[in-house]
Structure 1
Amino acid sequence: MADRSLRGTGLGAKSFEDEAGVEFAARREVGFDCPRQHHFSLTFAAEAEVPAVWECPRCGAESLRSDGYRAEAKEEKPARTHWDMLRERRSIAELEDLLAERLDLLRSGELGPNYAGMNSRKSA
């Protein structure tokens, strides 16, 4: 049995095919500079979009590309709040009318479970 075993090889971990006739994809190497004076380079596919910022493998800081390429700033929309969406549907005058109407209902006890519960206890 010992004469049939493959010693020194990890079965499934290594390929015994040679690289003759294999055409590799085009690649390019891009350098990055860390603010803490670390320099490293990464290999990307030639057609890949290379990011302008990469995390430094030594210290974790944001590193910029060595070739001077900087990403263009994207225009960010301000976040729409509940008030903004409400103002798209109603005018200030309409909102004031609704507020006055709801306040009258609350004060009269017709609106809200807390007010209804208080009125039924008083009469009992």
Structure 2
Amino acid sequence: MAERTLRGARLGGQSFEDERGIEFAARQQVAYSCPQGHQFEITMSTEAEIPANWECPRCGAVSLNVDGILPEEKAEKPARTHWDMLLERRSLDELEVILTERLELLRGGEIGPAHLHRPGKAKKKAKA
């Protein structure tokens, strides 16, 4: 094993391969301009889809492409509330019935916070 290692070679050292015979991918420079006035270029493949915006390397702001490529506007769905999801599962009539049942139980002291429970109701049901 020791015979195969190169003397003087270290981890993170120079590569012993040269660039002869290697054909690099075609590249292009894409320019961006930041709202703070910073200008910078990013090297990309000619086959790559060019993004309309890029994060500025200096300040982190969203920079727009200088060539005038505009970002696509995404259709935003309105936020679904708990009420919307409830209406997907139940009709208004069903909800009215459930509400009246729960209110009767609450008023009767069978459900709800412990300090609102009526001691007489729980004992009567336990005996029956």
Supply the AA of the counterpart residue of 1:87: L
Gaps of 5+ in 1: none
Q: Could you say which residue in structure 2 is the equivalent of 1:56?
A: 56
Gaps of 5+ in 2: 1-6, 124-128
Q: Could you say which residue in structure 1 is the equivalent of 2:24?
A: 24
Please state how far the C-alpha of 1:10 moved relative to its aligned partner.
5.4
Q: TM-score, normalised by structure 2?
A: 0.76
- Counterpart contact for 1:34–1:61, Cα < 8 Å: yes
Q: Deviations over 1:89-109 (max 9, x none)?
A: 222232122111111011112
Q: Calculate the aligned-residue CA RMSD, in Å.
A: 2.7
Which runs of structure 2 are paired with 1:6-45 in the superposition (5 Å)?
A: 6=8, 11-45=11-45
Q: How many residues align?
A: 117
Task: Between 101-110 and 89-98, report the one with greater CA deviation.
Answer: 89-98
Cα distance in structure 1, aligned partners of 2:112 and 2:58:
61
Q: Percent identity?
A: 58
Cα distance in structure 1, aligned partners of 2:71 and 2:34:
16
Please state how far the C-alpha of 1:115 moved relative to its aligned partner.
6.4
